[in-house]
Structure 1
Amino acid sequence: MLSRPVMLLGRVPAPRLRLSAFRLRSQSSLASTIGDFTAKLHHPKFSVAARDVRILLKPTEFHDQLKEMIERAQTRIFISSLYLGSMESDLVVSLQRALERRPHLRLHMLFDFNRSTRPEPKSTAKLLAPLIAQFPERVHISFFRSPSLRGLMAKLVPPRFNEGWGTWHAKIYGVDNEVMISGANLNKSYFTDRQDRYIHFSASDQQRLSHYCFDFIRTVSNFSFRLLPPAKDSLPEHSVRTEEYNLRWPLPETHPHQIHGFAQTALTSLQESYRHLTSEPLDPGKFALYPLMQAGQFHIRDEEQTLHLLFEHLNSVQNSRALVDLTSGYFGLYEPYQKLVLESSNVDCRIVAASPRANGFYGSRGVSGRIPEGYTLLEQRFMNAVAAANRQNSVQLTEWEREGWTYHAKGIWVSDTDPDALPKLTIFGSTNLNSRSAHIDSELSFLMVAPEGREEAALRMRRKLFVERNYIRAWSKPWKGAERKVRLGTRFLAWLVGGML
């Protein structure tokens, strides 16, 4: 059971989050068994030196790091995100200046089609169209369209709600051989007052990782709409023509609603092409990094399979309990994941979810304004399941709230149950660990596992993970969802949309 419950549930003041303030345990009874878990993984594996990993804590750091990366880019910039915010013209200018400075620099970007082509004055497509016109040979921008929304529904669903049938959700920010993985999008709030996670891998020894992320973007671009200037030339079938830009469909013989087989083959082939790295021995003192795709509509479930293996392993470890810290800005834990949490009697779980006020939809107009209330309903159902499983002492839910901020962080940290134990592994990236992420959206996350032994560089990295986890928990407080009322209309909408929340 969770030890020292007052400390675990209490709020830790952010100003006190200094490394020297913690008693840090370097030894872990859990650590010696993690190798048994990773031996069962068959995903590509990258070896990462601890000195090359930087964990950022604040949105402003994410913004500054991204701008610095663009400024020093020499040969390529590759970005994957849900969308580019309408206020981010300065970021477009940064990209433009980088392309002007470096004649050999190329730009590859991948976004979600529905989110990026909304009929608004400054959609992502409209903001980026001038770059295509100025650098037609060096800029490649694509928009992935989920095939789940099709037929009559594709014509009837308003643009503001068509994301409910799936989005391109992977977040990759890379230049040359350095990469930053996050859950954050390219919008002002994500740069100022929307909390997320951000892990940066420097360029010194990350060629394989950066090539993988670059290949991942290019692979999906092969079955996505390509942004082009608004020329009057003929376009392949299924392409889209507007006054400001054209969207060229690259597979004229395949309808955009029927790409399931093509996408599954392409993404599976990408994983296979890097799978030879799995058998390579890990250098002493280096972290192992495993990419986890999750695209349920294409029958790709790396994340789901990995979490099943992880909980199965943690629950089987003798003479040691594991502590899983889990967080999601949109907490509607996928039902098989709920089962893992509730049935793993040897695993304690602390969960941080966004409070209603920290939900990005809080105060929205119309139906979307009920979304925070919908997540309260899902949290109530989860906590009822916790009580029914008699797991109240080992599964705790807290809510994140900070005045004027919203919450978007997601991921997992695993350590011993002692609150001072250093995390042994973490999962980070785009997944919200909910039904949407499992079935509808297309995600990319990473599992990072610390090496065995007591090398100082590795311990420093684990301390950074410890600080990151506690920085996020610093703004959490006891869950109050049981006291909140959920209107009948919200219950009906939650039933209607099901796993789209």
Structure 2
Amino acid sequence: MALLYPRPSLEQLPRFPLSIESVQTLTCAADFRRTLLSLIGAARRRIYLTALYLQDDDAGHEVMAALQTAKQATPALDIRVLVDWHRAQRGLIGAAKQAGNAGWYRACSAGADGAIPVYGVPVQTRELFGVLHLKGFVLDDTVLYSGASLNDVYLHRHDRYRHDRYHLLHCPRLADAMVDLLRTQLLDSSAVHRLDEPQCPTTRQLRRDIRVLRKQLAACRYDDTHAVTPYHGLAVTPLIGIGRNNPLNRHLLDLLSSAREKVIICTPYFNFPKPVMREINRLILRGIDVEIIVGDKTANDFFIPPHESFKAIGALPYLYEVNLRRFAKVHRKALMRQQLKLHLWQDNGNSYHLKGIWVDDRYHLITGNNLNPRAFSLDLENALLIHDPKGEMAAQKQLELDTIHRHTRPILQHRELETVRQYPDRVRKLLTRLSRVRIDRLLYRIL
């Protein structure tokens, strides 16, 4: 049965006007780190950082130190850091049990440099069934938006980096709307607590409050009181959603179906939810040019090199490649005539985390949404839809795409991708076993 959703057309969405001078596209993680630290140092009214996590590593320490310095210089500065409740209270996948980043937050607040409030947001009673995946840093009237979290690899603090997308938008109305949602929907919730304070309730104690919060989030929207519509110039619409058939999902599908000439999609994990895959198939049938840029399996953040100790989580990049090969085989004719283009990103052991959609020269969707089943049904996600009816973003768009393509290779036919038989023994045996009992389908939905 086809997914039914209302279609207030994209042209009818309320939006905040922009000037081309107020939008800047950054093209690398190192620039992202420098820009974030510079904006923190320059802030005078407010700093709201929202990410999946702020990591206890060199880059995380650098960000925390910058926040503490900013607070000391301007005591009235309103600083709030929001991270996922569950992710903050565990170690890395495969590591021994530990206090996680929350232990470091508490140590920072107890130190001489003063407390920076770090709030844990639980959007579900278990991390497996939903996390805070909102993105966007608000610094005074500027929004720095990226799908990145805050750690060494996302901020390119040392040798390795994880490539994402990074955009600066100076727009007071947008900044106000994003802060208002954080304050009214999250910070005011009885389910949200500071992780930097010594006494913190357990998840079990918060179960009822978490259920109430999730129900409220399903109905929340960004405040568009000061937005305008119709508006026929460069503008931005913030979108938010959680759970199945939410407004963000519906507008994302509407965005794909609106294409007249070309669609470009970036995703780190080739595992589209059924409604997205259905729209992509329709685009190809309609003769629309479709380009999909995805990370090579070795550029996946779950990839484990064959010479290292194998863990089951390391099979995920191979599962995604199985999906990609199957898709390429189904659409081999479109690949041959270059209506469909597939690009694999790979850069010397660095990883790929790009998400987003470009439609014609009219729309640019920047988001932390992985465009996978988990994002479409479990996590709290958001996005910024940039309306560009006059093509004012064309130069920035091309610069960003050129930077991405610098490390990609085209896939011209499905046979260029490895088969399960060619995978390392441990991977091949695990995937064969999972496929027999169809557990792989469950994994696709939750990872």
TM range (shorter): 0.7 to 0.9
- Cross-structure match for 2:169: 201
- Asked whether the 8 Å contact 2:108–2:115 carries over to 1, the reply is no
Unaligned runs of 5+ residues in structure 2 are: 1-7, 92-96, 421-427
Question: Identity of aligned pairs, percent?
Answer: 23
- Cross-structure match for 2:271: 332
- Cross-structure match for 2:300: 359
CA apart distance, 1:78 = 0.3
- Cross-structure match for 1:438: 376
CA apart distance, 1:140 = 3.7
- Cross-structure match for 2:214: 260
- Cross-structure match for 2:358: 413
- Cross-structure match for 1:113: 85
Distance in 1 (CA, whole Å) between partners of 2:62 and 2:187 is: 25
CA apart distance, 1:221 = 2.8
CA apart distance, 1:391 = 6.7
CA apart distance, 1:134 = 6.6
- Asked whether the 8 Å contact 2:256–2:263 carries over to 1, the reply is no
- Asked whether the 8 Å contact 2:12–2:230 carries over to 1, the reply is no
- Cross-structure match for 2:193: 226
- Cross-structure match for 1:51: 21
Q: Map residues 295-374 of structure 1 onto 2, 5 A cutoff.
A: 295-296=242-243, 299=244, 301-314=246-259, 317=260, 322-344=261-283, 345-363=286-304, 365-374=310-319
User: Which letter maps to 2:381?
Assistant: E
CA apart distance, 1:106 = 1.6
CA apart distance, 1:381 = 3.0
1:91–1:256 Cα change, 3 Å = same
- Cross-structure match for 1:277: 227
- Cross-structure match for 2:48: 78
1:93–1:481 Cα change, 3 Å = farther
- Asked whether the 8 Å contact 1:46–1:289 carries over to 2, the reply is yes
Give the total of aligned pairs.
406
User: Which letter maps to 2:120?
Assistant: F
CA apart distance, 1:409 = 0.8
Distance in 1 (CA, whole Å) between partners of 2:37 and 2:204 is: 29
- Cross-structure match for 1:473: 405
CA deviation digits over 1:177-211, x for unaligned, max 9? 11101011101111121111000113xxx111111
- Determine whether 1:500 maps to 2:434: no
User: Which letter maps to 2:71?
Assistant: L
- What is the SS of the residue equivalent to 2:331? helix
User: Which letter maps to 1:309?
Assistant: D
Distance in 2 (CA, whole Å) between partners of 1:424 and 1:97 is: 41
- Cross-structure match for 2:131: 167
Q: Map residues 211-222 of structure 1 onto 2, 5 A cutoff.
A: 211-218=176-183, 219-222=185-188
Distance in 2 (CA, whole Å) between partners of 1:144 and 1:341 is: 33
- Cross-structure match for 1:154: none
Distance in 1 (CA, whole Å) between partners of 2:204 and 2:442 is: 34
Distance in 1 (CA, whole Å) between partners of 2:336 and 2:56 is: 44
- What is the SS of the residue equivalent to 1:66? helix
- What is the SS of the residue equivalent to 1:54? strand
- What is the SS of the residue equivalent to 1:362? coil
Q: Map residues 1-40 of structure 1 onto 2, 5 A cutoff.
A: 38-40=10-12
- Cross-structure match for 2:362: 424
- What is the SS of the residue equivalent to 1:174? strand
CA apart distance, 1:499 = 0.8
Distance in 1 (CA, whole Å) between partners of 2:207 and 2:256 is: 43
CA deviation digits over 1:17-76, x for unaligned, max 9? xxxxxxxxxxxxxxxxxxx953243xx411111101110001000000000011011111
